[in-house]
Amino acid sequence: MIELQQTAAALYLASGIAALVGLTLPSRQASRYAVVGLGFGAVAQGLAFATLHRLDTVPSLRSLSLFGSFAVWVGVIFLLLLVRRIRLTGLLAAAGPVAFLVVFLASMGLENPADSGGRVEGIVPHAHVLLSSAGLSLLGGASLAGLFFLIQHRRLKRKTTSSRLPSLEALDRVNRIALAVGFALLTLGVLTGPPWLYSVSGEFWSGSEHEMWTMMAWGIYAGLTAARFVGGQGPRQAAASAVAGFAFLFFAVVGVGLLR
């Protein structure tokens, strides 16, 4: 399992390098290799998750390593689905190294016996972790697209030389789709949290820092999603909001846990 995760990490790194080469030269062939590398990485990670359940000692569902690794897997699959329709070489150049870093660190964490907390049974705990990590991943994708949008927008406004980033329209489209799907998954993740807590402690709300921050992050994203799809928010404001919103969400879900 660890070897498969590390193979996936290596493939993601190779994909990121190929995307960077494709962007710099620019070379369509290198960009194609980047997509293929990302695809093989996703397959390797999928096989890693498939073998997870056969292990005698599986990592805890609360394991940050597992959470991060799964989030990357969902994000990569999402990107692969989009890349068939939208020219996103610039995004791959950033997504590849990020995926490598998270999966590589996750594979080290999964190797650590202290991280193994025994098997957690039941659909609800699994649904909570998987939906939350998938939501976090897609909202991360929205923020990455938002960041690239802001860079590209600034370049066009400053009238500097031409760039090889994806077009504003493509980046805005990725941002919109990732926000819509990511918020829906995050909401489902949030909704499955209280039943899990109830099954463990007999109460739906414990008032922990994690719950407080997560609810605040969800509230912020609810506002951002409404502004984007109902309030007529412009693409640039939406891009900036996606970056800021993800920074808050990341802190709420991951940062607070690490600070404890």
Q: Smaller CB distance to another protein: residue 90 or 245?
A: 90
CB of 151 to another protein, least distance (A): 11
Q: Which of these ranges, 31-39, 60-68, 153-161, 208-216, lies near another protein under the rule CB under 8 A?
A: 153-161
Q: Smaller CB distance to another protein: residue 126 or 236?
A: 236
Give the per-residue contact string, 68-87, with another protein (x = CB under 8 A; - = no). Answer: ------------------xx
Q: Smaller CB distance to another protein: residue 9 or 91?
A: 91
Q: Smaller CB distance to another protein: residue 63 or 175?
A: 175
CB of 225 to another protein, least distance (A): 16
Q: Which of these ranges, 102-110, 126-134, 137-145, 161-169, lies near another protein under the rule CB under 8 A?
A: 161-169
CB of 35 to another protein, least distance (A): 17
Confirm or reject binding of residue 236 to another protein (CB under 8 A): yes
Confirm or reject binding of residue 154 to another protein (CB under 8 A): no
> By the 8 A CB rule, do 153 and 168 touch?
yes
Q: Smaller CB distance to another protein: residue 187 or 237?
A: 237
Chosen residue from 121, 160, 230, 260 binding another protein by CB under 8 A: 160
Confirm or reject binding of residue 26 to another protein (CB under 8 A): yes
Whose structure tokens read 């660190």?
105
Q: Smaller CB distance to another protein: residue 107 or 175?
A: 175
Confirm or reject binding of residue 57 to another protein (CB under 8 A): no
DSSP letters, the chain, are -HHHHHHHHHHHHHHHHHHHHHHHTT-HHHHHHHHHHHHHHHHHHHHHHHHHTT-SSPPPTT-HHHHHHHHHHHHHHHHHHHHTTS--HHHHHHHHHHHHHHHHHHHHHHH-GGG------SHHHHHHHHHHHHHHHHHHHHHHHHHHHHHHHHHHHHT-S---SPPHHHHHHHHHHHHHHHHHHHHHHHHTHHHHHHHHHS-S----HHHHHHHHHHHHHHHHHHHHHTS---HHHHHHHHHHHHHHHHIIIIIHHHH-
Handedness of CA 146, 151, 154, 155 (dihedral sign): negative
Residues that bind another protein in the complex, under the rule CB under 8 A = 24-26, 86-87, 152, 155-157, 159-163, 165, 167-170, 173, 232, 234-236
